Amino acid sequence: MNLTVYRRAFVGIVGREILRFLHQRERFFSALVRPLVWLLIFAAGFRAVLGLSMQPPYRTYVEYDVYIVPGLLAMIQLFNGMQSSLSMVYDREMGSMRVLLTTPLPRWFVLFSKLFAGALVSIIQAYAFLAVAYLFGIKMPAWGYLTALPILMMTGLMLGSLGMLLSSTIRQLENFAGVMNFIIFPTFFMSSALYPLWKMRESSYLVWQLCQLNPFTYAVEALRFGLYMRAEWWSLGVVGGTLVLFLAGAVYGYNPSRGFTVRKAGGGE
């Protein structure tokens, strides 16, 4: 197969996911309402509790609601990654995913195309959230909106690959919905999305250690620095390495001959 075949397949897969997103307006509005509730309501209480005594490298943050914006962007991408993978479980039950994976195209290419489409959708939702936050007076440096774009793509791919890996291990739609809640909330709360890590360490050393092991923490930190036109290389390296690890696991999991969902002898699909 030549490059034209790959290009057409990539455009077709990505276009299908974008159209699906455009026809699911409630998904778009729910992605906006959830972080806006945190930003406009919870931030008021947290600002009073934490105060404004941010230590370096957070001394440039004047308001707590500005501080949590990167965490809420990552939350949008986390929920979107899980929802995109939920649709993959649904497609697998309906048979369309099985048909897609039996094409002559390499399995990794098909899965990466779907992953890229999900990350692209999450970026659209993230910038829509930033636009609404701007209307409420929560502004970032002008160039920060641009420098955050490649980081949003990387974090979207990483969080989407996590959901894809989980979807490869689960056979029924109902089970995946329960796993989503079990994964999303610990991942979000045990990170630096809402509180600085040094504050977390003062409260609980054990929880601080768990936050240090959480890949979501590094996604938040990469976005936090990126919005202020700075590169946090350690966080970017962790996000990139985790992306490769999760995607490799998903490719393995979706291999029908040796993956996690391999059919057991005498068992059904």
Nearest to 235 by CA among 227, 244, 226: 226
Q: DSSP string spanning 148-200?
A: HHHHHHHHHHHHHHHHHHHHHH--SHHHHHHHHHHHHHHHHHSSSSSS-HHHH
Of the ranges 32-36, 76-80, 205-209, 211-215, which one carries the lowest mean pLDDT score?
A: 32-36
Structure-token pair, residue 97: 């995913």
Query: Per-residue confidence at 106, pLDDT binned at 50, 70, 90?
Result: confident
Indicate whether 126 pLDDT > 80.
yes
Whether omega for the bond prior to residue 57 falls within 30 degrees of 0, making it cis, is: yes
Question: What are the residue boundaries of the structural domains of the chain, listed by start?
Answer: 24-253
- pLDDT band at 48; cut points 50, 70, 90: low
At residue 173's C-alpha, the angle toward residues 153 and 156, to 5°, is: 5
The answer, yes or no, to whether residue 215 has pLDDT greater than 50, is: yes
CB atoms within 10 A of CB 171: 17
Q: If you average pLDDT over residues 224-229, what whole number do you get?
A: 91
pLDDT grade for 64, boundaries at 50, 70 and 90: low
Token pair of 213, please? 């092991």
DSSP state of 3: H
**HEC string for 48-112:** HHHCCCCCCCCCCCCCHHHHCHHHHHHHHHHHHHHHHHHHHHHHHHHCHHHHHHCCCCCHHHHHH
Higher-pLDDT residue of 251, 237 = 237
Tallying the residues shown for the chain, one arrives at: 269
Write down the pTM of the prediction.
0.83
DSSP helix/strand/coil, 59 = coil
CB 31 within 8 A of CB 80: yes
